[in-house]
Each structure stands twice: as C-alpha cells, then as structure tokens.
C-alpha cells in the first residue's frame, strides 16, 4: 500500500485530438500534428524539470497505419524532423531517448534518425523519453510470446518457470518500470491498445483538452491530482 505523495516516476500519455484541433480551425490535419509536436516538446521539458524519470508518449499506434498514406507519410516526416531538431534540447536537459514498438515498420529516414538520436543521447541520465512508434499492446504481447516460445523450444526455459516476471521481461518495456500515471487528452475513455500489460495498476487521468492545447499548466494539474490519490494495488485503505 503506497500513498502517492510524490511525483510519479513514470508518466504515459495518449496524445489525442490533433485532428479535431485542426478541424476546429479549418486547417489540414497535419497542422494539428505539427501543433501537437509543440505540446510534446513542452511536456518533455516540463517532465524533466519536475523530476519525472520516464515519460512514454503514444506517438504512432500500429492501427495508425490504416490512415491515408498522405497523413502517415506526413507524420513520419514530422517524427524524423522532431528527432533531429530536438537533439540539442534533449542534450541540454539531460534527456535520453528510447523507443518501443515495431520499429522496423517505420520508413528508413525515421529509423535512421531514431537510431542516431538514441545513440547520441544514450548516456544522458535525467528523464528517459520513450516514444511508442508503430506500437500496439497486443502486438507487443504477440512478439513477447514468440520470444518465450523460442526459449522453451530451445530448452532454455521450462513452461512451469514462466511467471509474471518472465512475461514482463519479454515485452518492449522490459527495462522500464510500469507507468504510475496515464494521461489521455481529448476526453476519450479508452486505452486504445496502449501498454495493456503495464497499466494494470496505473492511475488514469483524462482531460477534454485536445493535445495541441495540453501544455505545462495542465500537466502540473494532472500531477497534483495524482499526488492526492491513494494507490492501494488491490489492498485496503489503512485504518
């Protein structure tokens, strides 16, 4: 039983509402994504300053490939540009970049820039920024089960040895703690295939604000609400 007195160690965010933000302004959807990348930049800096250790951003889901090619290509170009332009700021703020998902699905220019930005920020010791790219919670489990099945087949693991730790270790997130707080913007009350295993005991905070309008003051409000919550992990409140 833990009282969440402090700042969350790991915050995960479903950045939703870029399209609606653009539509409300009569702009093309990509303009919403561009404004959304400004929010991402601001929240990364804020999270680092506050002392959050891990920030996972749902930047592109595996289902997002179903969008028109024009939009997915524009999003990938925006991602590559973000990864390149942010290097000096990430460095200045001691941020290490990581990524989870089926990264081989990304276009080559994004894969190359991702590898480069990861390489140059690898020794930073402040915030770890984890971008979920071509990510799906169910595909992550499929990939994990394949790894475990291979270990069993090769005789390195017996089925009865499989436990929660084995499964957690087979996921893309094996080297990160589970999220303490999940934020979703634009008011939808869904997980949308995000970190399905890892969010078992995560506190959820949902705001109607569209992602491009989600900036530092509202992020601080989410952290303040989290601080007031009691995390019981299935136990009971102390008497």
Instruction: Give the binding site for ligand FPP (CB under 6 A).
Output: 15-20, 33, 36-37, 40, 57, 59-60, 64, 78-79, 82, 131, 211
φ and ψ of 129, to 5 deg: -95, 120
Q: Is 38 a catalytic residue?
A: no
Least gap, CB of 159 to ligand FPP (angstroms): 38
Specify the residue, 10 or 33, whose C-beta has the smaller distance to ligand FPP.
33
Specify the residue, 110 or 170, whose C-beta has the smaller distance to ligand FPP.
110
Least gap, CB of 181 to ligand FPP (angstroms): 18
Residue pair 117/99 in contact by the 8 Å Cβ criterion: no
Residue pair 130/57 in contact by the 8 Å Cβ criterion: yes
What does the alpha-carbon distance between residue 220 and residue 214 come to, in Å, rounded to a whole number?
Answer: 11
138 to 144, 145, 173: CA distances (angstroms): 10, 11, 13
Specify the residue, 78 or 169, whose C-beta has the smaller distance to ligand FPP.
78
95 to 90, 151, 181: CA distances (angstroms): 5, 34, 20
For residue 20, give the DSSP letter: H
Minimal CA–CA distance to 40: which of 13, 9, 72, 61?
13
Q: Which of 18, 64, 124, 225 is catalytic?
A: 64
What does the alpha-carbon distance between residue 197 and residue 141 come to, in Å, rounded to a whole number?
Answer: 8
Q: Is 16 a catalytic residue?
A: yes
What does the alpha-carbon distance between residue 105 and residue 109 come to, in Å, rounded to a whole number?
Answer: 11
Minimal CA–CA distance to 58: which of 165, 145, 143, 179?
179
Specify the residue, 64 or 199, whose C-beta has the smaller distance to ligand FPP.
64
What does the alpha-carbon distance between residue 114 and residue 103 come to, in Å, rounded to a whole number?
Answer: 9
Least gap, CB of 219 to ligand FPP (angstroms): 14
Specify the residue, 135 or 176, whose C-beta has the smaller distance to ligand FPP.
135
Where would I find the H helices in 154-190?
164-170
Least gap, CB of 4 to ligand FPP (angstroms): 26
Least gap, CB of 71 to ligand FPP (angstroms): 8
Active site residues: 16, 64
């Amino acid at each position: 039983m833990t009282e969440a007195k402090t700042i969350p160690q790991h915050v995960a965010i479903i950045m939703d509402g870029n399209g609606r933000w653009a539509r409300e302004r009569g702009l093309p959807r990509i303009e919403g994504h561009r404004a959304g990348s400004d929010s991402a930049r601001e929240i990364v800096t804020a999270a680092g300053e506050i002392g959050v250790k891990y920030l996972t951003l749902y930047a592109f889901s595996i289902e997002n490939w179903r969008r028109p090619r024009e939009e997915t290509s524009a999003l990938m170009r925006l991602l590559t540009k973000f990864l390149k332009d942010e290097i000096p700021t990430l460095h200045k703020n001691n941020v290490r970049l990581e990524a989870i998902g089926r990264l081989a699905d990304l276009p080559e220019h994004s894969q190359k820039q991702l590898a480069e930005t990861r390489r140059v920020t690898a020794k930073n010791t402040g915030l770890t920024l984890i971008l979920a790219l071509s990510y799906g919670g169910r595909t992550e489990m499929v990939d994990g089960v394949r790894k475990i099945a291979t270990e069993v087949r090769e005789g390195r693991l017996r089925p009865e040895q499989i436990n929660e730790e084995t499964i957690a270790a087979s996921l893309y997130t094996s080297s990160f703690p589970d999220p303490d707080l999940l934020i979703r913007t634009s008011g939808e009350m869904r997980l949308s295939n995000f970190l399905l295993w890892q969010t078992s005991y995560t506190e959820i905070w949902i705001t109607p604000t569209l992602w491009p309008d989600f900036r530092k003051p509202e992020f601080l409000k989410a952290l303040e609400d989290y601080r007031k919550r009691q995390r019981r992990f299935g136990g009971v409140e102390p008497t």
